[in-house]
Amino acid sequence: MIAFDMECSQGHVFEGWFDNSDAFEEQNASGLVSCPYCDDPNIRKVISPVAVKKSSQDIQPAPESVDYQRLAKEVVDYITKNSEDVGAQFAAEALKIHYGVEEKRNIRGSATQEEEKTLKEEGVEFFKIPMPKIEEEKKN
C-alpha cells in the first residue's frame, strides 16, 4: 500500500491509501476519489513522503546497492514536473501563498539567507533541495 498526501481544489489536504500509483490515477480519473471535508472530486497529489506497507510475505531483502544517481534524478524530475519555478521570487510567492493572497500551489525557486530567515519567522514551511543546473542540449 502507498499513502499519498492529496489536496482538493478548495485547499483541503488529506491522505489516501492506494495499492500503487496507477490505482490512484485510475480511481481519480474515474471520479472515485473525493475530498473527505467538502466532497470535491478535483483532487491532485502533493509532494510528500511516501509510506509503503508490505505484508510479511512480500518482504524482500534490501538490494545490495542503491543507484543514488538514478534516485536523485527521479526526485528532481518529480519536483520539476509537480511544481512551478518562481525563481528569485520564491520568498515573495511563498509569503503570498502563506497569507492567502495567492492560490495554494507547489513552487520552487531560490531565496537568500535573509529571505529564508523571514520565511521561518513568518511560519512558512519550506525545505531546501539542491537542484542541478539543466544544461541546454548541444545542437549539431
Residue 41 CB coordination number (10 Å): 13
Whole domain around residue 16: which residue ranges? 2-55
Identity of the amino acid at 32: L
Same structural domain, 77 and 44: no
User: pLDDT tens string for the chain (140 positions)?
Assistant: 777 788 899 888 888 888 888 888 899 899 899 998 899 999 988 866 545 555 555 556 666 677 888 888 888 899 989 999 999 999 999 999 999 999 999 999 999 999 999 999 999 999 888 777 765 444 44
Same structural domain, 16 and 39: yes
**42 in a structural domain:** yes
**133 in a structural domain:** no
- Locate all alpha helices (DSSP H) within 14-132, ordered by sequence: 21-29, 68-81, 90-98, 113-121
Distance CA 94, CA 92 (A): 6
Angle between helices 90-98 and 113-121 (to 10 degrees): 10
What is the reported pTM?
Answer: 0.49
